[in-house]
Structures are given as C-alpha cells and as structure tokens.
Structure 1
Amino acid sequence: MMQASATQVEFSAGSLISTDPPYYDNVGYSDLSDFFYVWLRRSLRDVHPDLLATMLVPKADEMVANPYRHDGKDGAKRFFEDGFRSVFTKARESSALDYPVTVWYAYKQAETNEDGLKSTGWQTLLDAMIRAGWQITATWPVRSERGSRRISIGTNALASSVVLALRARPRSAATVDRRGFIAALQNDLPAALKALVHGQIAAVDLDQAALGPGIAVFSRFSTVLEADGSPMTVGSAIARIGEVVDQVLNEQEGDFDATTRFAIAWYRQRGYGVGPYGEAEQLAQGRNVVVQALDRDGVLTSRAGKVQLIKPAELSADYDVLTDLHISSWEALHHLIKILEGAGIAPAGEFLRAALSRDDNAVDVDLVKELAHLLFRVAEGNRWTKDALSFNTLVTSWQEILDAARAVPAPTTSRQGSFDFEEVDVS
C-alpha cells in the first residue's frame, strides 16, 4: 500500500493497469475525503504512520481541474491535461504488452466552445490516451451505478459505466483523411451498435456507450486529416461519430414492419399529440398502410379529421396478444409498457411469453427492444421527459422481463371434485 501521485509513480515493467480516472472538475475527492480522514487518522495512525502522516489529505497534486489551486480555469485545464498525458505515456512504456489497460468512464460534464463543439473531461481523457500512443480496442458497458444513490435522485445520471480496453497503437498505423474515417465508421458502427442495443445497457446511456466503438475506429489511425490538412481533434471526431450513429439507427428502421415504421414517423412529428388526417394519410401511403386499419387495430384514433397515437396507459385492458391478426412491434412495445408500469415485471413477462408463443413468430424481441431505444432518442431529443422515462424503464427492465417470460409457469393445483350420480332404475 502506498500514497503517491500517478504522475510521479514509476510503474514496474509488465504492470497490469486498471483505472477509474478522475472526472475532470466534477468531484473533488480529496476535499470530500477530509470528512473521513480526520477520524481514520486518529484510529489508524499507529498502524499506517506513513499513509496518515499529514494533518489532512494531500490536495496539491490531485489530478482534477480545480481553478482554485491552479491559477484559474485555464491553468486548471492545462494541469489536468498535462497530468493525464504524462500518466498514459508512462503507462505505455511499462505496461504488460500481453494484456490490455482498462479504463472506466461514466462522464456527463460538458461545455460548448466557440465552434459549437462539446469540450468535456471525457474528451480530455480520450485525447490524452490517443496522443500517448494508445489504441482503444474494445468497450464494455457495465451496470455499475446504483439508481437510488443520492447523486441520481432527480437527475439524468448514468445507469452504466463503460470500460475501455487499450493496447499500444502500432507505430506503423496509417494516416487517413476525413472521408476515409467516416467510411470506416459506417462500416464498423452498425454491428457495434446492434451489440450495444441488445446488451444490458440503458437507453439513456446508448449515446455515451456508442462513442466507444467510434473512438476505437478513430484511435486506430495515427492521424485523421481534416479537409484543410489539419489533424482532426477528438471533439470533431466525436461530432462525426454522433452523426454516423444517428444515420445508422435511422437506417435500421427498415427492419421494422410497416405499421411500426408509420408510427415512428408520426411520433417523430407529433409524439402522442393530435395531427391532421391528411398528414397521417400521406405518411401511411408511403409505408403501404391504411389509417382506418390502424384505427381498428388500436394503434391510433382517427376522429373528425384528427389523428392521434394511443398512449400506453390508454390501451385497452382487454387486448389479447394471441388473437391479434395484425400485431406489430409498436403494439407489442406499448402493451409491454402499459403492463410494466401498471402491474410490474411478472405480468409483463407473462405477456411477452404469450407473444412469443404465437405460431406466426410475429413478435421479435430484439426488434421490440431496438424500438424502445429508438423512441427514447426521439423523446429525449424533443424533451418529452415522461415518454423517455417509459422507454428507458422498459430497456433497463428488459432482462428481468425476458427472464420472467422464459421461466416455466408454476403448475396449477386443482382439487378433486365430487361426482354427482343420478339414480337410475334398471329393474
């Protein structure tokens, strides 16, 4: 056990490194730890005299962007960036080549610079790793954050962390231009996004998690050149990754049935609000569906020239997933939300079990989950908070619902009844 600054410590050759680095200026852990340190020092100073030699926790070398200690905001930014670059450069020189370095992140802090691009502690971390010669080779979302923790109450805090796996980038790595970088993103991101969507990652975390595979593409090149010949920054790369993520997710809409494609398009324009029949008819014609049929099927209401998608809470309680002749991913999703919010996990699992038992295999669980992710993005982009919460709750509960659906139903016990015999005269 030792106490030392990460920028000063000498890593031994072949070190295995796993780190959850500081969150830029989000949390000053040294100040926070003083609350506990004074009591630990009283009770354990004789046991760990070197670790507890100071009156309070050392703070000057703490690698956070603290303007009070480093001559203002600019000085704090330089201190943080220089420190990170130094740490990852040392780690590259001494880490075990046969094993990756793992880095945990779960950042939300962001600012906007004069170009409209976001500048974050997350970007600073990525820039430090890439400039130090690291390539990001894998990302894994990990459910690590407790939803009931104090920092999450009333906030849109992350439900997951993401672990980055780093390996030393070959010195012979290629240089590519902006067009080549985007082409590589378009080639690699579809499969990576599908894996994220089908994994146990909350919808609210998808954008952040999707940066991992995108940055993996960016970091495998020695340099990505902009149109003017200048090196592309991490901030610019993240903007391009976001554009390709949106493009890929929009293209995946083609996997859905016609009813669902219509409902997605209408939801984008109106949410669950009212819109004119003529507008709905135009959308329906382009997707080979009929508005009146969608009304009969319980997807929307069409009355007096006005059309409105039916909210989950307003769906019929008498709906039978086994007898619906025209079931869609949209209907399956919305009935699941209604049941989950009204009755809980077990009844939602029973509904999904019944849906999967249909002979026509009309319900694809992967598509239903993909739809929840897609609608969350639409709702969040339009600040429809209640809708976004419903879609995100379904995604975060998905594995439990699946487990309930796949569980063998408990056998029903019946009691032997008595037979009534009618006396018949056979003489």
Structure 2
Amino acid sequence: MLVPKTEELVANPYRHNGRQGAHEFFEGKFREVFRKAREHARDDFPTSVYYAFKQQDTSKDGQASTGWETLLEGMTRSGWKITATWPMRSELSNRMVGQGTNALASSIVLALRPRPDDAPRIDRRGFLSALKAELPDELRKLQQGSIAPVDLPQAAIGPGMAVFSRYSGVLEDDGTKMTVRTALQRINAILDEVLTELENDFDSPTRFALTWFRQNGFASGAFGEAESIANARGISLDALERSGILTKGGGKVSLITPGDLPSDYDPSVDPSISHWEVVMHLTRLFDDEGVPAASALLGLVPPSVDTDLCRELAGLLFKLAGDLKQTALAVSFNNLGAAWNEIARGASSSSTQGALDF
C-alpha cells in the first residue's frame, strides 16, 4: 500500500480520468521508455524485447490488438527500426487462435536496432512497392525454417515492419503519417497474396483440390461444378478419382479426407502422384503414428515431386481450414508444417540407410 503508484506504467482508468486518459498516459510513457533506451543503445548490437500482451479490441476493420499496436507504434516513433518478430513457444500447445488476430499460441520476441537520425521519409506508394518487392522473398525464407503455419503471419510482421520502420515516416496521400495499424493491414494483405500465388507452382490435381477444398472443404459438391474446375486445369474427374484424390457418384463429388485414405499407400509406385496426395497421406500418418512413420513415407516420395512445395501446401491448407472454421483440420495441417523439418531429416536418413542396405 505504501509503494507509490502514480507513475506506474499501466493503463488504469481510475487514475487518469477515464479510459481515454489512461490510454494517453500509457502511450506517452511507453514512448518515453523507448526514447530513453534509444539514447543509450549501440548500433552494433540489436536490442530484444519480449512481448506477452494479449488484449483484443474489435474495430470496423476487424480484430486488432491495441497492446501490440501500441508497442510497435511506440518503438517506431521513438527512433527504432524493427528487424524481426519471432514467435516463441511459451503458451499451451493446444491453444488455437483464429486467423486475422495478432495474439497467437506464442509470445513474441522482437529484434530492434536504432534508426539513423537522418532516415528518409517515403510516400504510401513507395512503401507498398518496397513491401511487394521484398516481402515475398523474406516469406519464403521463413517457410524454409521451422515456423509453424499458425505463426507465419506473426513472423511475417518482422520483415514487413523492417520496411515500415526504416523510414522516419510513411506519408499518406493527405500528408499525415501512416499508422502501424494500417501498415499491419498491408503486410497481412501481401502475405495473403503471396500464399495465393504459390498455387500456380502446384501440379494440376493439387490446384483442382485446393480450389474445391476452398469452396467445399471435404463436404460434397455438385458434379457439374467440379467438372468445370477440372476442365479448366486440363484434367478429368475420372483421372482424379483413379489417383485417389476424390470420390464421385450420384451427381456429387467430394475430396477424400486424410482419415479415409488407404493405410498401404506407397508413393514410390504411384504413377499419378501429386503434392496433394503426399500431404494428405503425411497428415494421416503424422496424426496417427508420429514423425517416424511420416518420415518413412516421405522417404519413398520420388525425386520428381518437389517436397518443398508439399511443405508450402501444408501451410496453405492450414490457412484454408481456418477460414472454413474447421479447427481440427487446421490443427493437423499446422502440426505437420511445424514438424516438417524433423520429418524431412528422418526421411533423408531412411533414404541413405536404404541405399547402404542395397
């Protein structure tokens, strides 16, 4: 009771004349903290900040985290540039958060460096051009690592904010400075564009399956619609049925769920193997038997199949399952993507051992 509370850095409406006053007090003091830290920071060492704020507010633009935006706004306005945002597994592993939010099953570690005092300004168009030029390559680098699909949007904020915060200001058309909230919306939009563009790299059966999954999930749909989608991709529904991707009958078509796939599948002798089949069978095996079984199957996939694309497909399917509100499926695809590097290492080891045995 005797500890002074007046200067405590909390947004308490009872101490600061209501909610707005509390917000202004917190934001102003927060910037002051980072401004003073900036004065004593060294250019040759990064500064790391651990973030574990989970308050959510809803705006007309959707759901956003006031605390997260205050954090980033305070840093950028205090002379810092943000070079990375890394998810850190500190919460319950089974916690699932919907798409479009800034709170995840992870806490966040941010890496900062002092922004030069003479950093230039840039207009909105220049900022968006820089984002579109740099963010796709950075996202692909993140996908090569062990970033779980559920954490990719959060990790993508790092390279996106690196572009935003390298400038002393991003000017809107009316001359005002762009807010962090607007910058985050643009970063997320470009992330969605990059994930969508990935579909062009997949084989025809996989592109069909993705389009059908986006519309219907694993539920049945009209035969005529499926036939139109297949024809547009130069493939027949009969071929897709023979390959084990879908079932058709009674004027209906549905994709085969991972749980309904045959347990004796051997990708090494599949004459019509696709990225979709590989990911579906891996999802089934990983859910049922874990990494060793998934590694054994991946080791049998012929070299003609780009397994990096299979990993990207798992991440894309996580997003689509989340959009369809199919949480259990999203969890399965996320778990597969998160464990991909371990599965791939096991597949490489089993392939090497097989060659030695031969």
When normalised by structure 1's length, the TM-score is: 0.76
**1:96-115 maps to which residues of 2 (within 5 A)?**
96-113=42-59
Measure the CA separation in 1 of the matches of 2:286 and 2:2: 50
Give a deviation string over 1:73-117, Cα, whole Å, max 9, x none.
Answer: 223322221121001100111112221212233554321235657
Look up the match of 1:144: 89
Change (3 A) 1:108 1:403: farther
The one of 62, 65, 79 equivalent to 1:133 is 79
Counting only pairs closer than 5 Å after superposition, residues 159-174 of structure 1 correspond to structure 2 as: 159-174=105-120
* 1:376 corresponds to which of 312, 318, 332: 318
Q: Which moved more, 1:229-238 or 1:166-175?
A: 166-175
Contact kept, 8 Å, 2:84 with 2:157, in 1: the verdict is no
Counterpart pick for 1:400 among 318, 342, 345:
342
Aligned residues: 350
Task: Classify 1:127/1:327 alpha carbon distance in 2 versus 1 (closer, same or farther; 3 Å).
Answer: same
Counterpart position of 2:328: 386
The code of the aligned residue for 1:67 comes to: P
Cα offset, 1:271, TM superposition: 0.7
Task: State the SS of the aligned residue for 1:88.
Answer: helix
CA positional deviation for 1:309: 0.6
Identity of aligned residues (%): 49
Contact 2:56 2:63 (C-alpha < 8 Å) held by counterparts: no
1:84 corresponding residue in structure 2:
30
Task: Write out aligned runs for 1:5-404 (5 A).
Answer: 61-113=7-59, 118-136=64-82, 138-139=83-84, 141-147=86-92, 158-355=104-301, 358=302, 361-404=303-346
Structure-2 change in CA distance of 1:128 and 1:146 (3 Å): closer
Residue 124 of structure 2 contacts residue 170 of structure 2 at CA under 8 Å; is this kept in 1? yes
Which shifted more, 385-394 or 62-71?
A: 62-71
CA spacing shift, 1:363–1:278, aligned 2, 3 Å: same
Higher relative contact order (CA 8 A, sep 6+): 2
- Residue identity opposite 1:383 in structure 2: K
8 Å Cα contact 1:328-1:362 kept in structure 2: no
The answer for unaligned runs of 5 or more in structure 2 is: none
- Whether contact under 8 Å (2:89, 2:106) holds in the other structure is yes
Q: Distance in 2 between matches of 1:336 and 1:58?
A: 58
Kindly provide the amino acid, as one letter, of the partner of residue 196 in structure 1. Answer: L
Secondary structure of the equivalent of 2:221? strand
| Aligned 8 A contact 1:173 1:220 in 2 | yes
Q: State the Cα distance separating 1:373 from its structure 2 match.
A: 0.8
SS at match of 1:172: coil
Assess, with a 3 A threshold, how the Cα gap between structure 1 residues 201 and 70 changes in structure 2: closer, same or farther.
farther
Consecutive unaligned residues in structure 1, runs of 5 or more: 1-54, 413-427
How many Å apart are 1:143 and its aligned residue? 3.9
SS where residue 313 of structure 1 aligns? helix
Q: The residue matched to 2:230 in structure 1 has which SS?
A: helix
Q: Distance in 1 between matches of 2:116 and 2:353?
A: 60
Specify the structure having the higher radius of gyration (Cα). Answer: 1
Structure 1 residue 409, shift from structure 2 partner: 8.1
- Aligned-partner residue type, residue 259 of structure 2: A
Comparing 304-313 and 63-72, the one that deviates more = 63-72
CA RMSD of aligned residues (A): 2.5
Once residues 122 and 96 of structure 2 are traced to their aligned partners in structure 1, the CA distance between those partners, rounded to angstroms, is 44
User: Per-residue CA shift, 1:118-153, capped at 9, x if unaligned?
Assistant: 3521110110011011112x21535432535xxx65
Distance 2:149 2:124 in 1: 29
**Retained in 1: the 8 A contact 2:97–2:104?**
no
* Contact kept in structure 2, 1:332 and 1:363, CA below 8 Å: no
| Aligned-residue offset at 1:172 | 2.6
Structure 2 length-normalised TM = 0.90
